[in-house]
Amino acid sequence: MTNLVDVTYNQTGKSKQTNALGMREMQEKAFKANTAQYLLIKAPPASGKSRALMFIALEKLHRQGIKKVIVAVPERAIGASFSPTELKKSGFFADWNTAPQYNLCTPGSEKTKVSAFLNFLESDEQILICTHATLRFAFDGLDEKRLNDALIAIDEFHHVSADGDNRLGEVMRNIMAKSKAHIIAMTGSYFRGDNIPVLLPEDEARFTKVTYNYYEQLNGYEFLKSLGIGYHFYQGRYFKRQPDREMSALEEILDENRKTIIHIPSVNSAESSREKYEEVNHIIDALGDLEYQDEKTGVLHIKSKRTGKMLKVADLVNDNPKARDKITAYLREINSPDDMDIIIALGMAKEGFDWPYCEHALTVGYRGSLTEIIQIIGRATRDSHNKTHAQFTNLIAEPDAENEEVKVAVNNMLKAITASLLMEQVLAPNFNFKPKKSDDDDDDDENNDENTIKIRGFKLPTSQRAKDIIETDLNDLKARILQDEQMLKAMPGNIAPEVINTVLIPKIIREIYPDLNDDDVEAVRQYVVVDSVIKNGTIEEQGGRKFIRMAGSFVNIDDIHIDLIDQINPFQKAFEILSKSVTVRVFKLIYEHIQSVKIEMTEEEAILLWPKIKEWREKTGEAPNLQSFDPKEKRMAEAVIFLRELKRQRTLNGQ
């Protein structure tokens, strides 16, 4: 297996320490914004968002005139995160108490739950827990003004969408437009996998944002020291042995000594056999022999064929409600690493699922979105005494030229790479960038620290909106950029870096933030590109000076100019790693597929390439060749043809 991302942390313990009110670092940060009517909390899984909500909600109930708190979670199992909690013993002024009849994350019909929801609004009780579905159904015919004195908290807020067909998004828009209700939105990953914004820009601008990043959390852990994100490629079926292999791909990568969650592929994906129960059986067979299943807990006891050890396995793929409730109840109560070894899941055990002892998140097939991948990785990044390393492994089907689904496989591989690119950005420490005005502008500025880098030609944002995007939305913006179809086709190197950085990226920024003026689009663009390039580089110190190695260049950090950075593909690193990780045949398939769906030429790109074309002519004495195997030369040749055609059209039109 090849890791595309390896990160080591300092184990400072800071993110786990509590203040005099019992609040951890993230919770204290969120609580400072408790007076906001609309509050968006963006923080990683396991950072304590549930308890942060409790602190803020109790403050609003007791001191800000709020009469009701409604907490909505995506699925019933997550409702347990908001069970009654003693907060006073840690220094807070009140405990979090919920009446059993108004915890609607229980078995039962939605009709009954909606009735209970409406009864709650008329009762003296203050707190209700429900699912997103119950919240949606309850709003059919409900007058939003009945929520004027209520706080609505939406957990896993990325389920909301600005799309008009998204019912939860419609509910949110109506609450904001037609009531005086307060809203707290919480998510570990604000972007969506379908490239549709969570909120419209004008709605998002009304939210006060609190951002707590992955690096702050993981660097402040006590036990977890490192995190790896890697990929393992397989042919055929992931659970079947190939003729030239002693083991299946799953057996090669599965270490039964590491507490593991295995997510099998979605039944609608190319990687799925369409027989999810059979896939579970194959995994059990790969582990060993099923000795028995505990009738009370539902735990499978499997004798390992490798070591003879008795493994405890949970099957969350089983759709039987009684079996599902039995095993999930057991998982909620475990308090030792010995209580469970392996969990097999399909749609569950992602958002809000807490198994702190998990060391390895093993996912088969590319998941539908970057959001889902971040959620799955979050299952293994809890801090626990039984582990110093956490691992995410994605088992991905190798593209096969003989297979009719080769294009799907190539696209999945490219999307997996973009996920690793994003996670590398998310997991790294943040940098501050400032303009360097002259050679006398040294590092004596009192506001500078080791994470501040001065860059010649760097542009600062002018509006508060652009500053907020850079401060709180940078990783979300990168996710949108990395999911863009044109960007996926451009990243492997067939498009010049300058085109990626100065044409494609600002185009995407304008689409996402249409309210930004040209100067702020450029400022945000520069920050995205510089941050990506610097984080993909390596900073070293020699002779009292700092240098950065990026894209094969070794540059004095004091001499960096924005023009230099714009000549570097900010997303090239993972493709370079990939080229060393897969066979020449597979890499050729990837290249051919990208060539077949290459982005069309634009006038902006062609004009940008013209100086390079002239330089090429002077250097070689010839025009760039359209049949060249060099993708950059080929692209320049296409630009020549494009410009000739553009000139011909303008001549015909008398321009």
Domain ranges within the chain, ordered by starting residue: 14-213, 223-397, 426-597, 600-655
CB 14 within 8 A of CB 26: no
Count of other CB atoms within 10 angstroms of residue 583: 10
For position 543, what pLDDT does the model report?
75
In three-state secondary structure terms, 441 is: coil
Nearest to 156 by CA among 7, 65, 49: 49
Q: Please count the CA atoms within 13 angstroms of the CA of 364 that sit on its side-chain side.
A: 33
Residue 313 contacts by C-beta under 8 Å, 6 or more apart in sequence?
Answer: 284, 287, 299, 300, 301, 302, 340, 341, 342, 343, 344
Pairwise CA distance, residues 44 & 50, whole Å: 12
- Domain 223-397 sits in CATH 3.40.50.300: yes
For position 427, what pLDDT does the model report?
80
For position 56, what pLDDT does the model report?
98
CB 308 within 8 A of CB 336: no
Mean pLDDT in runs of 10 for the chain (655 residues)? 78 92 96 96 89 97 96 88 94 95 91 94 96 92 92 88 76 92 87 68 86 90 92 82 80 91 84 86 92 94 92 92 88 92 83 84 78 82 94 84 67 72 78 81 57 88 90 83 76 74 90 90 93 82 77 75 85 64 66 62 85 90 79 81 77 69
Strand partners, 538: 549
DSSP secondary structure string for all residues of 380-415: T-S--TT-SEEEEEEEEEPP-TTSTTHHHHHHHHHH
For position 127, what pLDDT does the model report?
97
| Main-chain dihedrals φ then ψ at residue 338, nearest 5 degrees | -75, -10
Q: How many residues does the chain have?
A: 655
Nearest to 476 by CA among 350, 373, 371: 371
pTM beyond 0.95, yes or no: no
What CA–CA distances, in Å, run from 389 to 154, 221, 227, 505? 32, 12, 6, 35
Nearest to 206 by CA among 186, 168, 179, 176: 176
Packing angle of the helix pair 464-472, 474-483 (nearest 10 deg): 80
Burial tier of 403 (Cβ tally within 10 Å: 0-12, 13-18, 19+):
middle
- Identify the architecture of domain 14-213 in CATH: 3-Layer(aba) Sandwich (3.40)
- Reading the block at residue 27, the tokens are 């919770």
- Whether 223-397 and 14-213 are alike in CATH topology: the answer is yes
With vertex at residue 403, the alpha carbon angle to CA 402 and CA 405, rounded to the nearest 5 degrees, is: 145
DSSP secondary structure string for all residues of 101-132: GGB--SSS-HHHHHHHHHHHHHSS--EEEEEH
C-alpha 190 chain-centroid distance: 8
CB 33 within 8 A of CB 129: no
